[in-house]
C-alpha cells in the first residue's frame, strides 16, 4: 500500500489517502509540539509521498495549527485545491464567552469564519463537530452545517467523539429532511482503546460512514519507546494520558508488537498502525508526529502486511470489555439458528431447545 492508494470516505465521492496527517502537534504553544519549520517540512514530505488529507481543529495550539496549514497550503491555490483540509468546531478560544464554543448556530458560524481566515481558504473540505454538544438540539447543529455547505464554505461534514446513538439520530434526521448527511466519524481507536467496537464502529458500517481513527498509538504508548524498565522514569509530555496506560496489559501488547516488528523488519509503531488500518470500517488513520523522522516511521506502516494469525494474536491480547448487549449478542445465534450455518457463520444447538417434535408445544 502507498499514500496514493486513495479511498472514498464513507458514502461520498471525497478521495482521501489511507493515512491522514494529524496537525494537533503543529505549533509549540502547548509545550510539546513541532516548530513552524518542522511542521512545514512534515507537510511537504507527506504531500510529496502522495498524501492529500490533513486534519486539524480550531483549538489546536490555540489556533496556530490552522494558521501554519494556511500559510503553507491555503495561500498557494494550486496546492490548496489538491489537499483535503479537515478542521473542527466546538472548542472555545474565548474564556468566559458561552457562545464561543459548542455546536449552536452562532458558535458554528463564527468558528467557521475564523477557521477560514486562519486557513487562508474560502472553503473547508471536511468540517467536523469536535464533540457532542448536549446543550444544543441536534437539528440546530445539522441545519447550521447544511447552510454552510449550501453557501459553499464547507464541502462535507462529519462527527468526532460523539455517542453512537446520537450519530444515528443525526444521520436519520439529516437524510429524512434532505439536509447534508454525515460522511465520516472520527474516534479514538488503537490496540489499547478498542471499546468503539461495541457501538461506534457498527454504527459507522450501518450508516455508511468512513472511520478516521485518532491516537492510533495511544499518545505514544504503542510507539515502542516505553518499556517495563523505563516506565517509572520515562517522562511523558502528555502526562497522565500516557502514564495511566503503562500497565501489564499494555506491555503484553508491546511485547507482541516487538516480536512482529522483528519478523517484518519494521518498528512496533508501524505494526500497531497497520493493525488499526486493517480494521473493519477504517478509511484513513490519523497519524501525528513532532519530527520528520517520526512521520517517516509512521508512514512505514504502509509497507506492513500482517497475516490473519498475526492480527489474531494482537486481537487476543487487546480484547476489550464491551458494554451490554455485546456479549449477549455473541450468543444470540445459538438460539436463533439452532445449529444452522447462516451467511458463513456457524451456530451450535441451544441446549434448551426442543430435541424432538414431541417436545414442542
- Between helix 308-317 and helix 248-263 the angle, nearest 10°, is 170
pLDDT at 229: 73
Among the options 60, 156, 189, 226, which is catalytic?
Answer: 60
Residues whose CB is less than 8 angstroms from the CB of residue 103 and which lie 6 or more positions away in sequence, other chains included:
89, 90, 129, 132, 133, 136, 140, 141, 144
Does the predicted TM-score (pTM) go above 0.85? yes
pLDDT at 241: 67
Per-residue pLDDT in tens (0 to 9) along the chain, 361 residues: 899 999 999 999 999 999 999 999 999 999 889 999 999 999 999 999 999 999 999 999 999 999 999 999 988 888 999 999 999 999 999 999 999 999 999 999 999 999 999 999 999 999 999 999 999 999 999 999 999 999 999 999 999 999 999 999 999 999 999 999 999 999 999 999 999 999 999 999 999 999 999 999 998 889 888 777 766 666 656 566 667 777 889 899 999 999 999 999 999 999 999 999 999 999 999 999 999 999 999 999 999 999 999 999 999 999 999 999 988 888 888 888 888 898 998 888 888 888 777 777 8
- Asked about 60 being catalytic, the answer comes back as yes
* Cα–Cα distance measured from residue 314 to residue 29, given in angstroms and rounded to the nearest whole number: 36
pLDDT at 233: 61
* Cα–Cα distance measured from residue 63 to residue 27, given in angstroms and rounded to the nearest whole number: 9
Q: 336 with 330: CB under 8 angstroms?
A: no
* Cα–Cα distance measured from residue 52 to residue 79, given in angstroms and rounded to the nearest whole number: 10
162 class by beta-carbon count within 10 Å (0-12 exposed, 13-18 middle, 19+ buried): buried
Amino acid at each position: 500500500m502507498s499514500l496514493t492508494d486513495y479511498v472514498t470516505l464513507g458514502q461520498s465521492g471525497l478521495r482521501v489517502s489511507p493515512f491522514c496527517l494529524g496537525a494537533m502537534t503543529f505549533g509549540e504553544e502547548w509545550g510539546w509540539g513541532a516548530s513552524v519549520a518542522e511542521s512545514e517540512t512534515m507537510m511537504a514530505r507527506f504531500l510529496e509521498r502522495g498524501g492529500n488529507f490533513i486534519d486539524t481543529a480550531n483549538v489546536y495550539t490555540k489556533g496556530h495549527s490552522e494558521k501554519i496549514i494556511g500559510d503553507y497550503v491555503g495561500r498557494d491555490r494550486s496546492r490548496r485545491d489538491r489537499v483535503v483540509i479537515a478542521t473542527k468546531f466546538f472548542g472555545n478560544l474565548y474564556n468566559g464567552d458561552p457562545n464561543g464554543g459548542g455546536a449552536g448556530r452562532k458558535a458554528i458560524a463564527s468558528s467557521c469564519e475564523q477557521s477560514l481566515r486562519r486557513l487562508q481558504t474560502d472553503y473547508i473540505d471536511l468540517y467536523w463537530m469536535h464533540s457532542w454538544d448536549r446543550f444544543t438540539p441536534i437539528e440546530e447543529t445539522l441545519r447550521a452545517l447544511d447552510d454552510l455547505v449550501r453557501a459553499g464554505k464547507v464541502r462535507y461534514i462529519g462527527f468526532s467523539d460523539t455517542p453512537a446513538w446520537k450519530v444515528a439520530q443525526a444521520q436519520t434526521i439529516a437524510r429524512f429532511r434532505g439536509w447534508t448527511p454525515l460522511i465520516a466519524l472520527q474516534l479514538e481507536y488503537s490496540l489499547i482503546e478498542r471499546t468503539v467496537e461495541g457501538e461506534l464502529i457498527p454504527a459507522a458500517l450501518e450508516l455508511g460512514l468512513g472511520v478516521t481513527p485518532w491516537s492510533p498509538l495511544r499518545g505514544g504508548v504503542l510507539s515502542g519507546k516505553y518499556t517495563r524498565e523505563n516506565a517509572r522514569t520515562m517522562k511523558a509530555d502528555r502526562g497522565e494520558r500516557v502514564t495511566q496506560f503503562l500497565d501489564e496489559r499494555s506491555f503484553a501488547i508491546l511485547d507482541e508488537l516487538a516480536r512482529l516488528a522483528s519478523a517484518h523488519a519494521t518498528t512496533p509503531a508501524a505494526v500497531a498502525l497497520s493493525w488499526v488500518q486493517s480494521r473493519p470500517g477504517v478509511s484513513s488513520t490519523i497519524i501525528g508526529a513532532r519530527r520528520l523522522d517520526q512521520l517517516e516511521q509512521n508512514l512505514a506502516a504502509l509497507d506492513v502486511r500482517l497475516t490473519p494469525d498475526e492480527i489474531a494474536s494482537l486481537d487476543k491480547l487487546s480484547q476489550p470489555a464491551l458494554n451490554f448487549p455485546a456479549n449477549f449478542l455473541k450468543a444470540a445465534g445459538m438460539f436463533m439458528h439452532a445449529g444452522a450455518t447462516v451467511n458463513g457463520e456457524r451456530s451450535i444447538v441451544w441446549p434448551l431447545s426442543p430435541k424432538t417434535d414431541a417436545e414442542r408445544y
